[in-house]
Chain A
């Protein structure tokens, strides 16, 4: 348990009667990249959204078990605090279209009603954009709208927006599925930098991406965690036959 930033303990999630995540327990160590893969409908995105309590926003959704953030149960914490500590980046880049690049980065502070001094804002904007390798590209256009950027840049802006809140954990739901290969490579390159400061949990359909960027890989099937281990082991010698069938493309 030492060095574990996030742990799921017998976590279950439902949509009405539909039991979509079943008794999942897994430790996600700090400063690492954890990839979650599995076929459509396996519960991986629901599990991801459970980590920062977004699952419960959906009408009819329910959850039990525990998600521990540094040994503290997030279900006992205020959801806003949880989402401040656990940021999320979605499949499609979604910068606020009416806000400038600058305001997009510090949007989390504004939405949370946190007042910052101008110099503090400038420091956060520069540091956050630098962390996602976007500062040099946009520093002269900070007042332009976020949607002025390319798709890949917009996604990095969204990551900067999440990073700006100084979270412990960053969740990514298919972060590159809407990006071209060059932007994908740039975002993937960021993961190894970001994990120096955060724990990254990535849901991906792209198995090669999971193999390339993650330290640990989890395979979900029918809501169950089938296998969870070091990425190298999962992709070279998976323990479970279902994992092997999935990663070798023989899943029926």
Chain B
């Protein structure tokens, strides 16, 4: 096996570890929020440091690979894609971390009615599902699946678009829960960003596999 292949495989393994870490963080943030589990929220915050450290390690390994192996063609595209995917995954970790703050700074559990009616749980599930699709598309170099992520992101965008009108009505009916509603809206906005990160990952997957740049282009139907 060529030396570069060993180095590429190592980075591939690290990125999938990062993916697992980021997805687990989001999953834990969901559980912590829905069950108001502040211990779990603290765990999310503690593990965020590991997410950051893993991001730095992958960046450093990519830098070494570029300097020592001078990759070209598909190998170069792989490394360039990894650098951006790594950043996207780290931001997924940031999202989980910021959701954890909304749990730790909240003195009381979020009202069950608010959590149920806002569709927050569904939005978490959609965000986790889109991340999982992005991982599968990248792992199997499946650009057809990667292209479905652009549509999956639209579902998240729609969910987020409904959040504000919902909040206005909910606050009118439950003014005492205003702060909790505003926090919920902020969390939903952050979950909407997960879709953008997954979309970026899908673009990088297509760039890596097909050498096509889709960024800033309207997706062909």
Contact = CB atoms under 8 A, between A and B. Distances in A.
Given A208-B70, A236-B211, A248 B77 contact: no
Interface in B36-90: 70-77
Contacts of A244: 73-74
A26 to B, nearest CB: 21
Interface in A208-242: 208, 211, 235-238
Nearest to A233: B211
A122 to B, nearest CB: 44
Secondary structure of the B contact surface, majority rule: helix
A235 B74 CA distance: 9
B2 A249 contact: yes
B4 interface: yes
Given A236-B211, A237-B211, A250 B2 contact: yes
Most B CB atoms within 10 A — which of A237, A244, A248, A250? A248
Interface in B166-208: none
A248 B70 contact: no
Nearest to B80: A236
Nearest to A235: B72
Contact of A236 (B4, B70, B76): B76
A182 B208 CA distance: 34
Interface string B128-155: 0000000000000000000000000000
B2 A247 contact: no
Contacts of B73: 235-238, 244, 247-248
B122 interface: no
B211 A248 contact: no
Contact of A250 (B5, B70, B76, B77): B5
Contacts of A207: 72
Contacts of A237: 73, 77, 211
Q: Contact residue range for chain A?
A: 10 to 19
Contacts of B5: 250
A237 B5 CA distance: 18
Nearest to A244: B73
Nearest to B4: A249
Nearest to B76: A236
B12 to A, nearest CB: 15
Contacts of A238: 73
A67 to B, nearest CB: 30
A249 B74 CA distance: 12
Contacts of A250: 2, 5
A249 B3 CA distance: 9
Nearest to A247: B72
A210 to B, nearest CB: 10
Nearest to B212: A237
Interface string B1-32: 01011000000000000000000000000000
A236 B72 contact: yes
Nearest to A211: B72
Contacts of B75: 248
Contacts of B211: 236-237
Interface of B: 2, 4-5, 70-77, 211
Interface of A: 207-208, 211, 235-238, 244, 247-250
30 contacts: A207-B72, A208-B70, A211-B72, A235-B72, A235-B73, A235-B76, A236-B72, A236-B73, A236-B76, A236-B77, A236-B211, A237-B73, A237-B77, A237-B211, A238-B73, A244-B73, A244-B74, A247-B72, A247-B73, A248-B2, A248-B4, A248-B71, A248-B72, A248-B73, A248-B74, A248-B75, A249-B2, A249-B4, A250-B2, A250-B5
